[in-house]
Structure 1
Amino acid sequence: MTAETASSCANYSLGNPAESHQTRVLLLGSGELGREIAIELTRLGAFVIAADSYEHAPAMQIAQKSHVLDMTDATALEELIATTKPFIIIPEIEAIATSELAKAASNGIQVVPSSRIAAICMNREALRTLMHEKLGLPTTPYRFAGSFDELKAGANAVGYPCVVKPIMSSSGHGQSVLRSDANLKPAWREAQIGRRDVKDGGISRVIVEGFAPLDYELTMLTVSSSAGIVVCSPIGQRQEDGDYRESWQPAQVNPTVLEKAQDIAYKAVGGLVNIAHNNGEHGWGVFGVELFVLENGEVLFNEVSPRPHDTGMVTMISQHLSEFALHARAVLGIPVTEESVALTLQTGEVAASHAVVVTGNSQVTFTNVPQALSQPDTDLRIFGKPVVNGHRRMAVTLATGKDEAEARAKATKTAEELHATIG
């Protein structure tokens, strides 16, 4: 499909509620990221259909229609696509039957960024092989293992300490740190029972990654559109147990590190987009390229998410067009240029986001909002998730400050002032 044909099917209906006259977009995954994507698509006249595994997911509260299903069930997903007849499918999560995305693409439906990219990025083995062995990007030492004995050999090869991750998981699920061979059996077990796709049965292959002298991590939001590829200002981040807790933009990095980070982002996304083009697909959308910056200044590729990134929520206060607005524009065939990704901050200013994580087993009500937002240059997004089971990210606070420390402190204080009532 060419840019011209894609644009022709993106019908921007102003005030016409008739579904048949609008571009139908199917969101597969309706969490907080999907909610913001749905808002931006709706602003541009699209008819949004939100799907997830549970009712009243955040994006469902915005979309014109919604469906509940197990998106790893190929038959159920095939039926959903046949019923909703979308022009565009946007995966917002990784737990999807990618075989159905390939079928949809072969039937002329635009998959974002492409069916082939979605399959590669949810498989750590395919992704690492492409990035390091084919595109030549620097990474940590790694081995793949499909059995306990291969895990032991892989850990010995990369050395201790090392990290073990299922190849088909995310956000720290099934992940372990090995300090010695005494941790091998628990790590293998955790990879098998903690991965996202555990219900499919069978043995999960794992990746064993060597530790590197890490200084900090960066996210380079990179946008592929009909105008080419552009990269946003670098985003710094803090994680806990493999999950995002804080981010800030622009991250203060020296020019050499920034040049390396931008180069890796361009090459990683460019390589994926080339695969999409070779498969007759666009490859349009936002990519979250995750990088390790080592103590010696070297920059390593870690992973890439073919969708808006958790850490990129900071762009809702740092950029004129957030990552969600950029994603919506790109997938609808609207050119995204260097000007599109510009910051709105004053010289020296920094923006920050802080995840609000709630622990409990019930519904959650937020109070004290006026007090939480009493600081100047702060903002808040409450996701509207129906319940908490264990611990769950339920909101994000946003702030700007004269520097990174002030911005992070303001976002943190806003989060602390927000009161969550369980039950």
Structure 2
Amino acid sequence: MIRLDIAILGLGTVGGGVKDIINESPRLKEKLNVAAIWVRKEKVDATQNKTNDYQSILDNDDIKVIVETLGGIHPAYEMIMDAFKAGKNVVTANKAVVAKYMEEFIHEAKQNHVSFRFEPSVAGGIPWIQNLKRVLRIDDVQSIGGILNGTSNFIIDAIANQHVSFAEALKQAQDLGYAEADPTADIDGYDVENKLCISTDLAFNTLVKPGDAIKKVGIRNLLKEDVDFFLGRNMNIKLIGQARLYNQDKLAISIEPTLLPVDNTIATVNGNLNYVQLTGDTIGPLGFLGQGAGRKPTANALLQDVVDILENNPYYDIDGSHRLVIDNHNFAAEYILRTELDLIDLQDVSRLEGRYWHLANQTIESAHMLYQEVLQRDNKAIMFRQ
């Protein structure tokens, strides 16, 4: 059997998980060899294959696959591009760099006749991209979305079921390693945005990047009062990212705290789990539940990509030829907004109860414009999609 030499970039949570799974699995040790581990200068240890000399890895013809686990944009972007130019296949879990540079990576990989794979960049250990590719062999996909951030889901669930405040729930998430010291990416929707861009590129064979066109409301301003208010009406809150195709050439894309009946499938997804789904022409709605992050689940998905390269399993080809336009002006939705402001004089806005206002006859675009105006005067306001 051919044994594939790989190099791991970074030996943190996920990189360490990749190394551990290989070491612990006799079947993987027969297939894969960790020939080098790139780390920052202060962490070099020659006795453990750790080096900060990336060029030596690029120059090693025996190393066929680079496993990038650094996270962030730099130096990940430069190292991935250099790997392609050196004729190396790349697998990564780095949603931020994939979402931003998908087009460049695909082009460079094709130019150098190597593979670029990123299964764990969306929904961690869930085989979401693999199954999305299978559906696309037969169906056109009409919509994708779901719970794409386990940290925000954990926080909402803790507020609802442990009856704690947002601050207490966030502290729990940080203590458990689900949230970073700076939780901005998780609670303001940026992590979901990256994953949604990658999924949209694949589902619709287009190329979209994070930015203002994708309408975002995070959970930073969520209060226990909000969770209790809607639970009293048999509704759960979930931070949902979704992309829908309409008029054949337009995409409505948004990330919003969304109200769901408590017995809805997505509403019952608790803890730090992810739930991602698609709707296809013939298969209809199809959903996947599992760990969206974590050391072993993410490392497992990375290694699935590595083994696919070893076994020459084909990969879905994205060329971005469907140049779809993000347009949230024509997609109808209804919202509820909690604010200290009096909105009684606004058209299509009515008081629901107390500080909660119902926004009728809205598009995604119009509702988010109104919300941004409200935030200028009440920076603690929050909007929920109904």
Instruction: Settle same-fold status: TM greater than 0.5.
Output: no
Structure showing greater Rg: 2
Query: What TM-score does the superposition give when structure 2 sets the normalisation length?
Result: 0.33
Give the TM-score, by structure 1 length: 0.31
